Amino acid sequence: MARITINPDRSIGRINRNIYGHFSEHLGRCIYNGIFVGKDSPIPNVNGMRTDVVEALRKIKIPVLRWPGGCFADEYHWQDGIGPQEMRKRMVNTNWGYVVEDNSFGTHEFLELCRQLGCEPYINANVGSGTVREMAEWVEYLNSEGDSTVVRTRWENGKKEPFGVKYWGVGNESWGCGGNMRPEYYADEFRRYQTYCRNYGNHHLFRIACGPNTDDYRWTEILMQQAGRFMDGLTMHYYTTTGPDWETKGQALTFTEQEYYELLNKAARMETLVAGHSRIMDRYDPTKRIGLIVDEWGTWHQVEAGTNPGFLYQQNTMRDAMVAAIHLNIFNWHCDRVVMANIAQTVNVLQSVILTEGSRMVLTPTYHVFDLFKEHQDAEEIDCYVETNLIGFENWTVNQITASASQKDGKVTLTLANTSMHKAENVTVVCPNTGKVTARILTGAPSAHNDFDKAPVSIRAYDKLTVKDSEITFRAPGCSVLAISIE
Ligand code: AHR
């Protein structure tokens, strides 16, 4: 039996909608085929963007999209991706499968995609193999109204008004694929690069520094100490995987009970990481001016058999849905510091919300979790105290019930997951003013997933709740995610 006590009078602040953000890299079939098929494709599209994918992402209210990488960002030269598509420079994508990148999806295409999605663009620019001038001119190209040669080129490419891009990443994983830098060195590089990324007119940049990998607290300490005053955001990356090491990762569709709980236990580690990095940030930034941006998170399994290992294509089950629910609840709890998070990656790569095959598209269980959680966007986080058991396999344990709550326009939204592989749990929610209560549920066997021929996992209405005075009681099936709305 679990008990959740909601106190709508206590809040740590607003849940930034960007916590529900996404990440799309030039990697495998994420951008090409997954999102962008080109104007001449027989697959229905608007200006080259797949209509089915755009509509699905609009439905979950995608708030922000990070691009072009990832590791790819530090080899990407933006001038190669503007002008007539057939004239664009070709390159080999050395990070991801050594395939030819023809640069047909570039700056204008990305911003067209964001326009169609109705989301904010977040551009991650090149420090590793780029130059200060190259980065400075990209900002000028995007945001300036001045009559310069760079801006005239934008006009020639059909865009008179500035794009007004706000979220600006200065390098990606600069401790690894972005240049193997030491934090002291990167801190100086960040200070230098960001100096020349100007604010044009009303277009003020939100400058994002490359933050730590997982639990590299020293990186955070040095960045905050030496460059904190120049940044608005600091990133953090953490992927959830199973197995003793990176090479022997488990699979997406086939897993043991141990691997199920191992993955969930490791997903819950995000709490420790966010709290740990936040504590360091608090020392240098007690007013929380600088946001923590978890701009890469999600599960990383073995690629599906027969697919290009460099394309990171994996299926997605209810187990991944549990991981998503665990993460999103954690980000809500820390919304006073976490201002953005970007699941890796939107389509056909790692923990995708959408998979495509030719003209066909399927929504993954993770997609449905984003659908269940979307009411939290821009709502006030509210106190949600959970009394629950630890469950698991040997040392791989996790809280059986994980939950977070928010309120907006007089409506409380509670999202919760029963992380047990099979065991249902009786839940009592105590919340003042329970008027109209409705619920939606996503549930299935831990390995249940959607495929192109069969898509059994979807959200259903859930009416098996009893409401009495200020108490709501129900039975949450094992391996389930619920969104409860209390008006
Ligand atoms: O998301 C895949 C890769 O993981 C990204 O390119 C990189 O930033 C990270 O290591």
Q: How confident is the model at residue 31 (pLDDT cuts 50, 70, 90)?
A: very high
**373-402 confidence digits (pLDDT tens):** 999 999 999 999 999 999 999 999 999 999
Q: Taking residues 364-372, report their average pLDDT.
A: 98
Residue nearest to atom 5 of ligand 1 (CA): 70
Average pLDDT taken over every residue of the chain: 97
- Residues at CB less than 6 angstroms from ligand 1: 25, 69-71, 172-173, 296, 344-345, 350
Residue nearest to atom 3 of ligand 1 (CA): 70
CA of 71 to the centre of ligand 1 (A): 6
Percentage of residues in the chain with pLDDT exceeding 70?
Answer: 100
pLDDT 10s digits, 462-475: 999 999 989 999 99
Question: Per-residue confidence at 433, pLDDT binned at 50, 70, 90?
Answer: confident
Residue 154, pLDDT score? 98
Report the pLDDT value the prediction gives residue 434, as an integer from 0 to 100: 79
Residue among 27, 177, 235, 342 to mutate when testing ligand 1 (max atoms within 8 A of CB): 177
Residue with tokens 């294509």: 313
- Ligand 1 atom at minimal distance to the Cα of residue 95: 6
CA of 213 to the centre of ligand 1 (A): 11
Read off the pLDDT band of 281 (50, 70, 90).
very high
Instruction: Work out the average pLDDT over 91-116.
Output: 97
Q: Is 86 a catalytic residue?
A: no
**Set 75, 101, 120, 173: catalytic member:** 173
Report, as an integer, the average pLDDT of 84-101: 96
| Residues 316-333, mean pLDDT to the nearest whole number | 98
Q: How many residues does the chain have?
A: 487
Distance 72 CA to ligand 1 centre (A): 8
3-state secondary structure the chain: CEEEEEECCCCCEECCHHHHEEECCCCCCCCECCCECCCCCCCCEECCEEHHHHHHHHHCCCCEEEECCCHHHHHCCHHHHCCCHHHCCCEEECCCCCEEECCCCCHHHHHHHHHHHCCEEEEEECCCCCCHHHHHHHHHHHHCCCCCHHHHHHHHCCCCCCCCCCEEEECCCCCCCCCCCCHHHHHHHHHHHHHCCCCECCECCEEEECCCECCCHHHHHHHHHHHHHHCCEEEEEEEECCCCCHHHCCCCCCCCHHHHHHHHHHHHHHHHHHHHHHHHHHHHCCCCCCEEEEEEEEECCCCCCCCCHHHCCCCCEHHHHHHHHHHHHHHHHCCCCEEEEEEECCECCCCCCEEEECCEEEECHHHHHHHHHHHHCCCEEEEEEEECCEEEECCEEEECEEEEEEEECCEEEEEEEECCCCCCEEEEEECCCCCCEEEEEEECCCCCECCCCCCCCCCEECCCEEEECCEEEEEECCCEEEEEEEC
Ligand 1 centroid vs 424 CA: distance in angstroms?
Answer: 36
Say if residue 435's pLDDT is above 90.
no
- Nearest CA residue ID for atom 6, ligand 1: 70
- Model confidence band, residue 246 (pLDDT cutoffs 50, 70, 90): confident
The string of pLDDT tens digits covering residues 188-213 is 999 999 999 999 999 999 999 999 99
Residue 230: count other Cβ atoms within 10 Å of its Cβ.
Answer: 17
Q: Which of 296, 375, 381, 425 is catalytic?
A: 296
Report the chain's C-alpha Rg in angstroms.
Answer: 22
Residue nearest to atom 2 of ligand 1 (CA): 70
Q: Whose CA is nearest to atom 7 of ligand 1?
A: 70
484 φ/ψ angles, rounded to the nearest 5 degrees: -115, 130
